[in-house]
Chains A and B, each alone.
Chain A
Amino acid sequence: MRPPTDVLAGPVGVDTSAPLARANPVAKLAVAALVAVALVLTTDLVTVTVALACVLLALPFTGVGARGLWRRGWIVVVAAVPAGVVTALLGVDSGATWWAWQVGGTTLLDVTAGSAAAGLAITTRVLAIGLPGVVLLATTDPTDLADALGQVLRLPHRFVLAALAGMRLFGVLAEEWTTLTQARRARGLGGGGRLSRLRTFGSQLFALLVLAVRRATVLSTAMEARGFGAVRERTWARQSRFTGRDWLVVVGGLGVAVVSTAAGVAAGTWRLVLLG
Chain B
Amino acid sequence: MSTTHHQHTGTAPEGTESGRTARRPVPVAKVVAGLAAAVVSGAAVYAVGLPSGVEIFRTDLADLTLPAALLVTLVLGSVVGIASARAPWRVVDIVVASVLGVAGGLLFSVWNAVAYPLVSAAVVPPVSAWYVGVWLLPGVLGGLVIRKPGAAVYTELVAAALSALIGSSWGFSVVWYGLLQGLGAELVLALFLYRSFRLPVALLAGAGAGVVVGVLDSILYYPELVPVLQLAYVGLAVVSGVVIAGLGSWALTRALARTGALAPLRSGRDVERV
A residues sitting closer than 8 Å to B (CB atoms) are: 1, 3-4, 7, 32-33, 36, 40, 43, 72-73, 75-76, 78-79, 82-83, 86-87, 89-92, 115, 118, 122, 126, 129-134, 136-137, 142, 158-159, 162-163, 165-167, 169-170, 173, 206, 208-210, 212-217, 219-221, 223-224, 228-232, 265, 270-276
User: Does residue B76 face the partner (Cβ distance < 8 Å to A)?
Assistant: no
Q: Is the CB of B99 within 8 A of A166?
A: yes
Residues in chain A near residue B166, CB distance under 8 A: 4, 7
Q: Is the CB of B125 within 8 A of A86?
A: yes
User: Does residue B262 face the partner (Cβ distance < 8 Å to A)?
Assistant: yes
Q: Is the CB of B94 within 8 A of A169?
A: no
Residues in chain A near residue B256, CB distance under 8 A: 209-210, 213
Q: Is the CB of B172 within 8 A of A43?
A: no
Residues in chain B near residue A75, CB distance under 8 A: 112-113, 167-169
Residues in chain B near residue A130, CB distance under 8 A: 169-173
| Complex CA distance for A43 and B256, rounded to whole angstroms | 44
B residues sitting closer than 8 Å to A (CB atoms) are: 16, 18-19, 56-59, 63-64, 66-67, 89-92, 94-103, 106, 109-110, 112-114, 117, 120-121, 124-125, 154, 158, 161-162, 164-173, 176, 215, 218-227, 229-230, 252, 255-256, 259, 261-264
A interface: dominant SS = helix
**Contact among B18, B66, B223, B226 for A43, CB-based, below 8 A:** B223
| Complex CA distance for A71 and B108, rounded to whole angstroms | 19
Q: Given the known A-B contacts A91-B225, A129-B173, A230-B18, are A275 and B99 also in contact in the complex, defined by CB atoms under 8 Å?
A: no
Task: Looking at the assembled complex, report how far the CB atom of B236 sits from the nearest CB atom of chain A, in whole angstroms.
Answer: 15
| Complex CA distance for A133 and B89, rounded to whole angstroms | 31
Q: Is the CB of A229 within 8 A of B99?
A: no
**Contact among A87, A115, A173, A208 for B222, CB-based, below 8 A:** A87
A-B contact pairs, 9 of them (CB 8 A): A82-B121, A132-B171, A134-B167, A169-B99, A208-B103, A220-B95, A270-B57, A273-B220, A273-B223
Task: Looking at the assembled complex, report how far the CB atom of A272 sits from the nearest CB atom of chain B, in whole angstroms.
Answer: 4
Task: Looking at the assembled complex, report how far the CB atom of A63 sits from the nearest CB atom of chain B, in whole angstroms.
Answer: 18
**Contact among A73, A170, A212, A229 for B18, CB-based, below 8 A:** A229
